[in-house]
Structure 1
Amino acid sequence: MSAKQNLRRLVWPVVLMIVAVGLLINRTALAGLFENGDLVILAITALSYFSAAWLLSRIVALVLDQNPIRKRRYPRLLKDLIAVILFFVAFAATGALFMGQGAVGALAGSGLVIAMLGFAIRNVVADTLSGIALGIEGPFRIGDWIDIDGLARGKVIEIGWRTTRILTRDSAYTILPNSQIARQRIINYSAPKPQYRAQIAITLDHTLPISTARELMLEAVKKAKLIQQDPSPDVRVRSYDEGGITYSVRYWLSRFERDVDCRDEVYSLIDDALRQAGSIVPHRRIELVRSGARGSSVMKDDFD
């Protein structure tokens, strides 16, 4: 935002503040012109409170927008909340003045009202403050693909005062309170870059040498059209167990929304390559065959 636009945002609050200060200075003389002089003084004081709240809210918003330290802008939610707090204090102070209290009593009364309201709506306040914290830290933005541990995985559609809305890959519209999100581990697949690495696990028989298995799977994965070939995919041995050798096929994706399609393509290509090479060993089967004799049985060990 340019300096000219910033000045425009301050023009009317500054004008109102100047008028309020002028009236406040001359309040005694103005009060003498009316029968209800005390009421006029109270009205002028209330005007000064609200004009100060308006000006302060605009100044705070400009300071947050022009902060050179942060690459991301502060969320509008934070600026709106600060403005609401300032106007609420002005409203509470005005109400206290009209009830016959002084400035100190007005501030104390507004603080008491804020404390009572805060206790009554503590869950709402917790969600709102969590939303502000998420906005300030910026772990995710609208349009990012995220995984909130134990809650949801999908694309961020909206970040509101109390809730964050996520659209899952199954087109399920999920609404989560910000306080719950703030307590969970968040994985952002879109930041700092949308590119990330995925992997699948495949277990093959011991009779197939590791070098041959790696070569077959790499050649198959290189034919994939949905994944990125730079950085190039690779194959690593994950475990060597009694049931077979488990391999991790690792590859890079350009965007998280392609994860399911890429996984399907990689599995299909590897399956085709292994079948064409005759490298899929028949699955071992144990069949229990009952004989004619009562209570006796024969175990038959064979392959499918």
Structure 2
Amino acid sequence: MPSVLTDLWIQFSILFGARAAAHIVSPAPGTRRLIIDCVFFLALTALLLWNGIPPYSVEDLGSAVTLRFVHGSLKTIWWLAGAMVLANCARVFLILEHKPREGRLLQDLVVAIIYVSAALCIIAYVFSLPVGTIIATSGVFAIVLGLALQSTLNDVFSGIALNLNRLLSVGDWVVLDDDVQGKVVETNWRSTQFLNKTGDLVVVPNSMLAKSRITNLSVPDISHGASLTVKMQASVPPKAIEDTMHQVLLGSREILRSPSPSVSITGMSRDSIEVELSFRVPTLLSVAKARNEIFDLIYRHTFAASLPLASDPPAEKTAAGAGKPDFVKSLISLAPIFANLTNDEANALASSAERVVMKQGAVIARKDSTTSALMMLARGVAIVEDGVDDGRIEFARLSPGDVLGERGVLLGSKEVADTICLTDVTLYQISKGKIAEILRERPAIAEDLAALLLTRTKAEDALHQASSDRASTTAPDLRMRILRLFHL
């Protein structure tokens, strides 16, 4: 008997040593760790059966105490090893699903069931005790404990239900019926934690969450729909308002192009026409930025099209209807590049501007060409892009009040991309000679122009991956180039 036990301990010592060495080589949990545990469990099973110790059978009570102790110890190790393999399978499954955090509660539940089952099997097959009696006895304690922890258990089972239904996951933006809105950062046995827009942590018990109406803003995808309403005067046909609002949406860079944004007339009276603009943005956090941009575009496009807002004066009194010089001067006031001009200088530019109309698809300025006039959009939308087919890079979308051609006129440089009309476009050209006259009278304006040019140049270079010598250009360098070009 001692020799048999000695051989048995030697065999299992070698197996346990091999497993320990394998875990030292691969200490981190994961697929390789699971494979090691599976190999160990299969080898342990084979050794037990080889030595005539079936782990799923009750030990003979007539056997020697030492033999029963050794067999019981090995059976206990076998059941625990099996439970460990099943528990690791559950964990690895969640890792492969790339959702280890939101599945933690469900993982804990499955692991607990596995280890409780293994413990009952050890009681039955190792200690030869009646499992049914133990379960019945523990049931009484479970009832007492359940009554004492009723509120906690309500949260626990609500959390289990929420995880099984997959109503929300970590990273989702959700809105509850009590106006709680935030991003799910963790869900555990008792509660779900949200991070709201102000960066505060909101903790909601699972029992309350299960009773709430949940709106998941991240399903079926993380893009988010939004809308805004504008009231216009009923002095123009609704069709003209609709076309202008389509141009507003076309000029926005913050919204998604698919699905297509839409414009709908939602109300009409003798005094006003109500228009709703609907669109989608990449994420919920992009809504405010997109709405701000669209409101700015609404102001510029309605001004350019002489469409008064509901609270504006009648259309015939707006700047757009007061004659060409006043209208162009108002456009000049919208352009940041002309922000520091005096009233006389703005009037001089407006008087010299020449009106040009271009059809949809026409090229306003081609890449590698040098423009000879500064151009300012008065109506429509244009796009600045480079590349061919699917590889095209969009630099900007131009709307009324935007200026193009400043690189060629002020620096003598070539255009870095094509500027193409997305709609029918009306623009006003200001000759290089007129810009030179203003610079000769006030050379300090060159510094303001250089600062604005630098901002646009850096943005274009970042998108176009320009060379380092262009990226290192500074405002003083651009100012000197402008002054040298105009011989100042």
C-alpha contact 1:236 1:247 (8 A) present in aligned 2: yes
Q: In 2 relative to 1, CA 106–12 (structure 1 residues): closer, same or farther, beyond 3 Å?
A: farther
Equivalent-residue separation in structure 2 for 1:258 and 1:190 (angstroms): 13
1:26 Cα shift?
4.5
Match of 2:175 in 1: 147
**In the TM superposition, what whole-angstrom CA distance separates every residue of 1:117-172 from its partner, at most 9, and x where no partner exists?**
22222222222222222222222221222222225212111122221111111212
Match of 2:63 in 1: 29
Tell me whether 1:252 sits opposite 2:280 in the alignment. Answer: yes
Equivalent-residue separation in structure 2 for 1:20 and 1:108 (angstroms): 28
Larger RCO (alpha carbons 8 Å, 6+ apart): 1
Match of 1:226 among 236, 247, 254: 254
Match of 1:302 in 2: none
Match of 1:264 among 261, 279, 292: 292
1:249 Cα shift?
0.5
Match of 1:138 in 2: 166
Listed as ranges, the matches of 1:208-227 within 5 Å are 208-227=236-255
Listed as ranges, the matches of 1:56-135 within 5 Å are 56=83, 58-59=85-86, 62=89, 75-85=103-113, 87=115, 102-135=130-163
- Residue 240 of structure 2 aligns to a residue whose secondary structure is helix
Equivalent-residue separation in structure 2 for 1:28 and 1:130 (angstroms): 50
1:2 Cα shift?
8.9
What letter corresponds to residue 195 of structure 2 in structure 1? L
C-alpha contact 2:231 2:309 (8 A) present in aligned 1: no
**In the TM superposition, what whole-angstrom CA distance separates every residue of 1:55-107 from its partner, at most 9, and x where no partner exists?**
3474366379669xx99789232231233345457779999xxxxx8533211
Aligned residues: 270
Match of 1:193 in 2: 221
Please report the TM-score for the alignment, with normalisation by the length of structure 1. Answer: 0.69
C-alpha contact 2:87 2:114 (8 A) present in aligned 1: no
Q: In 2 relative to 1, CA 259–109 (structure 1 residues): closer, same or farther, beyond 3 Å?
A: same
**In the TM superposition, what whole-angstrom CA distance separates every residue of 1:182-216 from its partner, at most 9, and x where no partner exists?**
22222222222222321112233333421122122
Match of 1:280 among 295, 306, 309: 309
**In the TM superposition, what whole-angstrom CA distance separates every residue of 1:27-80 from its partner, at most 9, and x where no partner exists?**
54244x69xx9xx7xxx59x978974773474366379669xx99789232231
| Gap regions ≥5 residues in structure 1 | 96-100, 285-304
- What CA RMSD, in Å, does the superposition of the two structures yield over aligned residues? 4.2
| Gap regions ≥5 residues in structure 2 | 1-28, 124-128, 314-488
C-alpha contact 1:165 1:176 (8 A) present in aligned 2: yes
Equivalent-residue separation in structure 1 for 2:80 and 2:91 (angstroms): 16
What letter corresponds to residue 168 of structure 1 in structure 2? N
What letter corresponds to residue 161 of structure 1 in structure 2? W
The structure having more radius of gyration, on CA atoms, is 2
1:108 Cα shift?
0.4
Q: In 2 relative to 1, CA 180–235 (structure 1 residues): closer, same or farther, beyond 3 Å?
A: same
Range with bigger deviation, 234-243 or 113-122: 234-243
1:253 Cα shift?
0.8
Equivalent-residue separation in structure 2 for 1:27 and 1:151 (angstroms): 66
Q: In 2 relative to 1, CA 85–121 (structure 1 residues): closer, same or farther, beyond 3 Å?
A: farther
Equivalent-residue separation in structure 1 for 2:136 and 2:150 (angstroms): 20
Match of 2:444 in 1: none
What letter corresponds to residue 21 of structure 1 in structure 2? P
1:237 Cα shift?
1.6
Match of 1:291 in 2: none
C-alpha contact 1:216 1:273 (8 A) present in aligned 2: yes
Q: In 2 relative to 1, CA 110–87 (structure 1 residues): closer, same or farther, beyond 3 Å?
A: farther
1:279 Cα shift?
0.8
- Residue 132 of structure 1 aligns to a residue whose secondary structure is helix
1:181 Cα shift?
1.8
Match of 1:176 in 2: 204
Range with bigger deviation, 194-203 or 269-278: 269-278
Match of 1:55 among 69, 82, 85: 82
Q: In 2 relative to 1, CA 274–12 (structure 1 residues): closer, same or farther, beyond 3 Å?
A: same
What letter corresponds to residue 264 of structure 2 in structure 1? R
C-alpha contact 2:41 2:81 (8 A) present in aligned 1: yes
Equivalent-residue separation in structure 2 for 1:51 and 1:116 (angstroms): 34
